[in-house]
Chain A
């Protein structure tokens, strides 16, 4: 077989998490559940914020989020969303909308969730974070996509940091993190002095960090789509969500 885990977004030797979830029957229930839990763990905050934006208070939003994920992990069909087609993000959004719409009917029903979710959600931290979100007229859908994009980028940068830390080069990473985006050409020299290195070595390192980050980003996106061919589209959508409408240029 061939190559590049690094060269291409495709993960080698294993299906994406979302394809594991979406393709019922292709794997056993536990693996599916595990994959779904991992995905939810990564992206639960945007859903919580979505629920909050639908004018729910802090505690009921936490309950609803918890309940939603518990049902999802138990395999409840929350909507007619067909997991076999499309992306994890749109599946979650459709499911969540449907869950919230039907939520009034179930109001009297027994509370579910709680300890049955296999991942942890820190709602206190989420509430603090939500409080710092800008108050604007963004629609909940758009806000969800924007936060999703942020989760994706933050998560990818954290992974890159982890890789550098693992190689004992955390200090280098921290010093050069600011160069990941933007053109820092005039500041390379100072960074080189700080690191006791040459300017060209700094440039090479920054270049490698950027390239690796793109690989990680694509790997992370890949986990939420069924097929590598959707990566580009998903990234485009997420980028569009990050850029205010009047500044969109692509």
Chain B
């Protein structure tokens, strides 16, 4: 094991051919290549917000001083989705603030100015203890800017790196996030870029959501630049599938997905990529957590928690029923990076799932086909003899036609509404891992198909019963009418 990990030749780098410096430290890497990698890639980072890479160096605090006479600009502290952030002191109010500025070259472009304004607008709508507050926004002669609350603390990513978060910590933090998101959503603001870097935790442990650089204000006229069909906004790993596939259709449930990714990552230290396992299989996490996390990560927004409040309630319920304290009861952690291998019992369970899934699918498909036949019957049996209907208006026969028509329409609508979702499931089931945009994610899960099948089966049954009942009532009316 040891020998294999060394460079092929201990003295020379297999990649660049340079001699590995030997000064008594046994290096298993080539320092030159590592430094060059940073220069070559110009610092590519999967966490980096995919929206824009501001080019050029950020202006130094001294350069900005002239534009902001009321501020003492202390330090450049970061780069957000939409601009540079500085720590500054507001002289007249004697408070520390965060100044966000849009680079001058981007300020000249209306589309960027508009986006920047939107972030300010999104923030301005929100006044919540867990959302950074906006103080003011405006434009200097060459730059758009806004002032906001300065959070003296760290972001969740830094905290995660520096200390092991217990599941109870994670739940406590995410509960606060859900609270803030629920508030933002109720004000028509979707964050769209929920990830650990955008969650700040101050020294008192209070959570603040920052960087609404991608936020979307629901109900405002869409700007073609902002939601253009080729425009994908967000940070790849935290983006809900619909953010890739249907950027225009994104609603607040995309944030629920982001929270799910964060939950999974904070609990297990890994991102839910590919055929990922439930959290409790990857880390000592309460098994009850699995369902909650997986529900956030559902591909279809309809199957996720529908509001941040629901998610918050679920988290709180878990926390209050004894999640506190660590380590949590749960299966022992699997060895690092062990591939998923179901146990013997697991295999049987999986097989049973599949059988059920297939039976369910078959039944559902048959049920789904019935309405199609009914439409055909409708055309042949009702529309064509319509003249007969018209002629028989006011006669008992019309009631018979009427109930029949109602039944058919009900059935057909039901079936047609359900068939597409069934078809999607089937397609996914057959095509296997979906790898759109290099974003491998399996959305097919046997239990889902089985459930869909069951629901369809039940609904079809109910519809048939309803139809029979309607027909019975119709016949009774018919008799009553004919008696008159």
Chain A positions within 8 Å of B155 at CB level: 3-5, 12
Complex formed: what's the CA distance from A151 to B306 in Å?
Answer: 51
The reply to whether B75 and A180 contact each other, CB–CB distance below 8 Å, is no
At the interface, yes or no: B474 with Cβ under 8 Å from chain A? no
The reply to whether B4 and A190 contact each other, CB–CB distance below 8 Å, is yes
At the interface, yes or no: A111 with Cβ under 8 Å from chain B? no
The reply to whether A247 and B211 contact each other, CB–CB distance below 8 Å, is no
Chain B positions within 8 Å of A229 at CB level: 57-58, 60
Chain A positions within 8 Å of B151 at CB level: 1, 13
The reply to whether B23 and A132 contact each other, CB–CB distance below 8 Å, is yes
B335 CB to nearest chain A CB (Å):
6
A1-53 interface (Cβ within 8 A of B): 1-15, 19, 26
Binary contact track B422-450/A, C-beta < 8 Å → 1, others 0: 00000000000000000000000000000
At the interface, yes or no: B92 with Cβ under 8 Å from chain A? no
Binary contact track A191-218/B, C-beta < 8 Å → 1, others 0: 1001111101110110000110111011
Given known contacts A149-B31, A201-B339, A228-B76, A3 and B198 CB-to-CB distance under 8 angstroms: yes
B43 CB to nearest chain A CB (Å):
6
Q: Which of B30, B132, B152, B153 has the most CB of A within 10 A?
A: B30
Contact of A213 among B7, B34, B77, B211 (CB under 8 A): B34
Complex formed: what's the CA distance from A244 to B16 in Å?
Answer: 12
At the interface, yes or no: B91 with Cβ under 8 Å from chain A? no
Given known contacts A177-B5, A178-B7, A196-B338, A5 and B164 CB-to-CB distance under 8 angstroms: no
Binary contact track A221-249/B, C-beta < 8 Å → 1, others 0: 00000011100100110110011100100
At the interface, yes or no: B32 with Cβ under 8 Å from chain A? yes
Binary contact track B197-238/A, C-beta < 8 Å → 1, others 0: 110100000000011010000000000000000000000000
Given known contacts A196-B338, A214-B37, A227-B60, A239 and B32 CB-to-CB distance under 8 angstroms: yes
The reply to whether B44 and A211 contact each other, CB–CB distance below 8 Å, is yes
Contact of B4 among A19, A172, A191 (CB under 8 A): A191
Chain B positions within 8 Å of A10 at CB level: 76-79
At the interface, yes or no: B22 with Cβ under 8 Å from chain A? yes
The reply to whether B339 and A1 contact each other, CB–CB distance below 8 Å, is no
Contact of B5 among A7, A175, A215, A238 (CB under 8 A): A175
At the interface, yes or no: B45 with Cβ under 8 Å from chain A? yes
Chain A positions within 8 Å of B157 at CB level: 4-6
Chain A positions within 8 Å of B32 at CB level: 239, 242-243
Chain B positions within 8 Å of A129 at CB level: 23-25
A89 CB to nearest chain B CB (Å):
14
The reply to whether B29 and A1 contact each other, CB–CB distance below 8 Å, is no
A145-188 interface (Cβ within 8 A of B): 146, 149-150, 152-154, 156-157, 163, 166-169, 171-172, 174-183, 187
At the interface, yes or no: B346 with Cβ under 8 Å from chain A? no
Contact of B36 among A128, A133, A177, A239 (CB under 8 A): A239
At the interface, yes or no: B95 with Cβ under 8 Å from chain A? no
Report the contact-size class of chain A (Cβ under 8 Å from the partner).
35 or more
Chain B positions within 8 Å of A178 at CB level: 4-7, 28-29
Chain B positions within 8 Å of A194 at CB level: 1, 4
Chain B positions within 8 Å of A7 at CB level: 45, 47-49, 79, 197
Q: Which of B5, B153, B154 has the most CB of A within 10 A?
A: B5
Contact of A217 among B6, B34, B48, B83 (CB under 8 A): B34
The reply to whether A182 and B337 contact each other, CB–CB distance below 8 Å, is no
Complex formed: what's the CA distance from A1 to B57 in Å?
Answer: 19
Given known contacts A7-B49, A172-B337, A177 and B39 CB-to-CB distance under 8 angstroms: no
At the interface, yes or no: B480 with Cβ under 8 Å from chain A? no
Chain A binding surface SS class: helix
At the interface, yes or no: B14 with Cβ under 8 Å from chain A? yes
Interface size on B, residues (CB 8 A): 80
Q: Which of A7, A169, A211 has the most CB of B within 10 A?
A: A7
Chain B binding surface SS class: loop
Q: Which of B150, B274, B337 has the most CB of A within 10 A?
A: B337
Contact of A181 among B24, B37, B80, B339 (CB under 8 A): B37
The reply to whether B78 and A215 contact each other, CB–CB distance below 8 Å, is no
Contact of A2 among B39, B79, B154, B269 (CB under 8 A): B79
At the interface, yes or no: A250 with Cβ under 8 Å from chain B? yes
The reply to whether A1 and B150 contact each other, CB–CB distance below 8 Å, is yes
Complex formed: what's the CA distance from A142 to B322 in Å?
Answer: 61
Given known contacts A4-B197, A154-B27, A211 and B78 CB-to-CB distance under 8 angstroms: no
Chain A positions within 8 Å of B39 at CB level: 232, 235-236, 239, 250
Chain A positions within 8 Å of B37 at CB level: 181, 210, 214
Complex formed: what's the CA distance from A124 to B414 in Å?
Answer: 83
Contact of B38 among A133, A171, A235 (CB under 8 A): A235
At the interface, yes or no: B64 with Cβ under 8 Å from chain A? no
B283 CB to nearest chain A CB (Å):
10
Complex formed: what's the CA distance from A197 to B154 in Å?
Answer: 34
B74-114 interface (Cβ within 8 A of A): 74-83, 85, 87, 98, 100
The reply to whether B43 and A196 contact each other, CB–CB distance below 8 Å, is no
Find the A residue at minimum CB distance from B35.
Answer: A239
The reply to whether B35 and A6 contact each other, CB–CB distance below 8 Å, is no
The reply to whether B211 and A2 contact each other, CB–CB distance below 8 Å, is yes
Complex formed: what's the CA distance from A30 to B7 in Å?
Answer: 44
B251 CB to nearest chain A CB (Å):
23
The reply to whether B210 and A2 contact each other, CB–CB distance below 8 Å, is yes
The reply to whether A217 and B38 contact each other, CB–CB distance below 8 Å, is yes
- Extra contacts, 6 of them, besides A7-B45, A195-B336 (Cβ < 8 A), are A132-B24, A175-B1, A182-B7, A182-B29, A214-B43, A235-B35
Q: List 19 A-B contacts (CB under 8 A).
A: A1-B100, A2-B198, A3-B198, A4-B47, A4-B48, A12-B77, A15-B75, A167-B164, A171-B336, A175-B1, A178-B29, A190-B4, A196-B338, A201-B339, A211-B44, A227-B60, A232-B39, A239-B32, A242-B18
8 A-B pairs with the lowest CB-CB distances in the bound complex, closest first? A2-B80, A229-B57, A178-B5, A197-B337, A182-B15, A181-B33, A153-B31, A2-B211
